[in-house]
Amino acid sequence: MTSATLHSDATRQQAEAWRRQTSLRRFYTALGVGLLLVAMFATMWFADEANAGHFFDRLPHILDFLSWLVPKDWNDVWRALFDIASPNDKGTQEFNFPLGRVYVWGGFYIPEYFELMLTTVNVALVSTFIGFVFAVPFSFIAARNLTPSPILRLVVKRFMELLRAFPEIVIAGLFAAIVSIGPVAAIIAIGLHSIGALGKLFYEINENIDMRPEEGLRAVGANWFERVRFADLPQVLPNFMSYTLLRIEINVRISTIMGAVGGGGIGEELKLAISRGFGAKTLALVLLLFTTIFLVDQFSAWLRRKLVGEQAFLMSA
């Protein structure tokens, strides 16, 4: 047997093995995609069946439904936004713009929708603050490399998991019965959720720190608080702030939804306007909400870039 045939044998075997491997992999990929497609169509059918209106019945009427959104007078959008009386006002709720003015000083007022938007943003900010304040100490206890006690670590970790998974709407409903329905119940609900969500991200950052400063401090006899304060905190604070800013973005969205189920703020008004088909009010509200969320996102992204540089973050809740 010559070396040439040996060589070609080996090549053929290699090629054969390669073909087997790729065909197997292709089969698995096709199987996976096929299963996913089956699941997709099955769930589509299920969602359509369970819905009050069906997709193909409603599809031709999509544009009819959008027709209420086009106001007869486009100026009504601005009037609705700034609470200016409309000449179209016939005494119905659709055009009663000046009614909700919040007077601050003499004739100076904050338009109703701006006040509501402010409430929503404030709910998000205060609840993020609550989340941050509790998540920071929890994260030091829950980090494997910093924890003062493994049992405490497990307890804190489970507690944060529970807070994260617990449906906010239930906490909001529970506290609505205790502190009355409104923004305070929403703050408590979103705040508790934020503790869990931020705490998890924070302790994962803590587990990835450089431990040398910590060892240095341990060598000179620093206690736990001093080690955390002077070795860990300076390393993680920029990342903490960055995740907190991301959390603010998410919380603004959640607090809008909370508003729609009774948590105060702009959500409730939006829900009313859309369900009753008030075109001008809906457009004004969507415009305001869209602009606010866009500005919050851009501001937070800018600040995050300043804090941690060009680093990609997942938008995970």
Partner 1 sequence: MPAMTADQVKAIEDRHPQIFQRPAYKRFWPLLMIAGTVLYLAYALWFFSLPQVLRESHWERLPLFLSQWISYDLQPEFRLDQPEITPKYPRFSALGENPNPDWVIKNPDGTFTVQIDGNAKSVTFDKTVATIKANGVTVPISLTSGKPVVNGPVPDWVTVHDDEIVARMGFVGEVRVTVDRVKVRKRFLGWANFVFDTRSPFFGKSAGEVISLIVSGPDLQPGTSNLALAADNIWNNAQWQHGDVWTKLLQTIVMAFLGTLLGGIVAFPLAFFAARNITPSGLLSQVLKRFFDFMRSVDMLIWALFFTRAFGPGPLAGSAAIFFTEIGTLGKTYSEALENIDDKPREGVLSTGANGILVQRYGVLPEVVPVFISQTLYQWESNTRGATIIGAVGAGGIGLKLWEAMRTNSNWANVFYMVLLTLLVVFIFDNISNFLRRRLSRTLHDYNRLQAEQG
Using CB under 8 A, list all residues that contact partner 1.
36, 39-40, 43-44, 46-48, 50-55, 58, 61-62, 65, 118-119, 122, 125-126, 129, 162, 165-170, 173-174, 176-180, 182-184, 187, 253-254, 256-258, 260-261, 267, 270-271, 274-275, 277, 286, 289-290, 293-294, 297, 312, 314-317
Q: Which residues pair with 103 in a beta bridge?
A: 109
Smaller CB distance to partner 1: residue 147 or 256? 256
Angle (CA) 96-97-102 rounded to 5° is 120
Q: Kindly state the smallest distance separating residue 17's Cβ from partner 1, in Å.
A: 15
Q: Kindly state the smallest distance separating residue 61's Cβ from partner 1, in Å.
A: 8
Smaller CB distance to partner 1: residue 84 or 308? 308
Q: Kindly state the smallest distance separating residue 67's Cβ from partner 1, in Å.
A: 12
Smaller CB distance to partner 1: residue 126 or 135? 126
Instruction: Write the single-letter amino acid at 208.
Output: N
The Cα–Cα gap between 283 and 265 comes to 17
The Cα–Cα gap between 219 and 238 comes to 26
CB 196 within 8 Å of CB 162:
yes
Q: Kindly state the smallest distance separating residue 309's Cβ from partner 1, in Å.
A: 14
The Cα–Cα gap between 261 and 255 comes to 10
- Lookup: tokens for 177: 């019965």
Q: Kindly state the smallest distance separating residue 269's Cβ from partner 1, in Å.
A: 11
Q: Give the list of residues 6+ apart from residue 241 with CB closer than 8 angstroms, or none.
A: 307
The Cα–Cα gap between 148 and 154 comes to 11
Smaller CB distance to partner 1: residue 6 or 305? 305
Our measurement of the distance from residue 179's CA atom to the centroid of its chain's CA atoms, rounded to an integer in Å, reads: 25
Nearest one of 149, 192, 162, 312 to 246, comparing CA atoms:
312
Smaller CB distance to partner 1: residue 89 or 159? 159
- Lookup: tokens for 45: 């059918």
Smaller CB distance to partner 1: residue 1 or 178? 178
Q: Which helix (H) or strand (E) holds 38?
A: helix 3-50
Q: Kindly state the smallest distance separating residue 223's Cβ from partner 1, in Å.
A: 21
Smaller CB distance to partner 1: residue 125 or 222? 125
The Cα–Cα gap between 282 and 293 comes to 16
Q: Kindly state the smallest distance separating residue 183's Cβ from partner 1, in Å.
A: 6
Q: Kindly state the smallest distance separating residue 122's Cβ from partner 1, in Å.
A: 6
- What are the DSSP E strand ranges found in 49-121? 102-105, 108-110
Burial category of 31 from C-beta neighbours within 10 Å (exposed 0-12, middle 13-18, buried 19 and up): exposed
Smaller CB distance to partner 1: residue 110 or 222? 110
